[in-house]
Amino acid sequence: MGDPVIHWTYGLGKIVRQEERTFSGEKKLYYVVQIRDLTIWVPADGKVMSRLRPPTPENEFSKLFAILSGPGESLLDDRLERKTQLVEELKEGKAEAICRVIRDLSFYQQRKPLNDNDKLVLKQASDSLLGEWGFSLSIPLAQAQVELYRLLVKPSQNVAG
């Protein structure tokens, strides 16, 4: 209890307690996680590690920075196929995947406008990463935002694939 965690969708939060809840007549154990003004219940089952993970340690952020500043991978042009592509990438919940999605959507945006879903995914991924970044590196959110922008708009913006 009290441990900081990263939720695969909502970002940085804290485990406040464990609680048994009954849904559809089945009793299950849940982690109760507080994320800003949101409280969520995460099943404490075999899939918990794909839903919650510890924040990335400070010394591993250089790998994330390399992903963000690296060449973007091509995203599919069809909006529904692209949505599936992004959901699949984010499913694993790892910081590396979040960084790839941010990088790739940012590069995609340079040649085509983002649709509403793309914008939402980019915002959620960025908010999640920035919260983790600020926590792990003990820096203000504004500083993390400036650094993220700097990494994404570096001069050599080659697109691979």
CATH code of the domain in which 134 resides: 1.20.58.1290
Q: Do 69 and 135 reside in the same domain of the chain?
A: yes
Nearest residue to 28 via CA among 18, 16, 36: 18
User: The tokens 């690296």 sit on which residue?
Assistant: 70
Do 38 and 117 lie in one domain? The reply is no
Same domain, 62 and 35: no
Residue 46 confidence (pLDDT): 84
One domain, residues 124 and 146 = yes
Say if residue 27 is in the same domain as residue 62: no
**Planar angle of CA 56, 105, 102, nearest 5 degrees:** 10
- Clarify whether residues 92 and 143 are in a common domain: yes
Evaluate whether 13 touches 33 at the Cβ level (below 8 Å): yes
Q: The domain spanning residue 35 has which CATH number?
A: 2.40.10
pLDDT tens track, the chain, 161 positions? 889 999 988 889 999 999 999 888 889 999 999 998 999 999 998 888 878 999 999 999 999 999 999 999 999 999 999 999 999 998 878 999 999 999 999 999 999 999 999 999 999 999 999 999 999 999 999 999 999 999 998 644 444 44
Task: Examine the domain organization and report whether 71 and 127 are in the same domain.
Answer: yes
Q: Which domain holds residue 69?
A: 58-160
Residues 65 and 131 grouped into a single domain: yes
Number of domains in the chain: 2
Residues 6+ away with beta carbon under 8 Å from 115: 79
